Amino acid sequence: MMAVMMIRPLFLLIALGLLPAGDALAGPAQQVPSEFNVGAAPLDVAVLPGARIVATLIDPSGSQVNWIDSADFAGGVHTAHLTAVDATCITGGTLDGLPVAFVGGEQLDVVRFDTSVIPVATGSVDATVGLGTAASRVVSLAWLPSLEVLIAADAERSQLRLIDFRGAEPVVDGLAGWPIDLDFVPVDVALLADDRVVVVGDREGQPVVRRVDLDTLTAPAVEGNDVLSAGFDGAAVAVTSDGDGDAYVLDAAGGVWLIGSEPSTGDDDDAVDDDDAVDDDD
């Protein structure tokens, strides 16, 4: 059985001097000037690879993406209209060497941006990617660039879905092992490492955190148990990651928890003389 990675609150790491406060709090947030207001009732925001395009998903009905090109502020706010209904989330990725925005909800939309020119060419919207005949509600997306696949957290079905972009057309849940059935309702998913994601959610009011190993796409492995979220104060509401092995989970009371990519070894009691031997309780 996999050993459970120890979780520490972020504020405790700062207090113990294990994480410099400046790394966690880099200063007050600064709003982009008001002339770049992207519109009322925004739902989600993503910075696309290359850091030129800041894309926002806008209500009503999540039917448009408004974006700013940081290389052409004078161009103002641009818009791409979607066929999506009740879109809920947006994330960035790369296809054919150019940045794209993936938009999830009851279906998947892909908005492409040609950043080879300044100003950026108007975003083109691909044909809608359907998610099957049964109802779906994708609430979060994670792009795995090394695998060229998109992981979708489907709250309606309590599943993780796979959208594979390696072929001429995207394929949904086309490999063995997909979709992944979860015993909880997912609320967020994030890239943890090149071939691993972390998903958080709710099981009848209890917070749940799981790592998913995608080293072999046809044999995805869900890792972890409820010890991962034992200290949470309320539901797990969001997760983000540095993309290099560490994830940060936000609970409903405002606590931030650090979860590593790899399982821990030994007894995890953090004693000075802990040698991580099997069954060592110091």
Asked if pLDDT for residue 153 goes beyond 90, the answer is: yes
Cα Rg for the chain, rounded, in angstroms? 20
Q: Specify the range with the lowest mean pLDDT, choosing from 113-122, 190-199, 256-265.
A: 256-265
Alpha-carbon separation of residue 140 from 40, 62, 136, 149 (angstroms): 21, 14, 12, 14
Q: Is the sign of the CA dihedral 59, 60, 61, 65 positive or negative?
A: negative
**Better-scored residue on pLDDT, 6 or 204:** 204
Token duo for residue 237:
């509401």
Residue 237 has a CB neighbour count (10 Å cut-off) of: 18
Residue 57 has a CB neighbour count (10 Å cut-off) of: 28
User: Model confidence at 208, in pLDDT bands (50, 70, 90)?
Assistant: very high
258: phi then psi, degrees, rounded to nearest 5: -95, 130
Which SS3 state, helix, strand or coil, does residue 36 take? helix
Give the separation between CA 143 and CA 94, rounded to whole angstroms.
9
Half-sphere exposure of 212 (CA within 13 A, CB side): 29
Residue 215 has a CB neighbour count (10 Å cut-off) of: 12
**Better-scored residue on pLDDT, 159 or 40:** 159
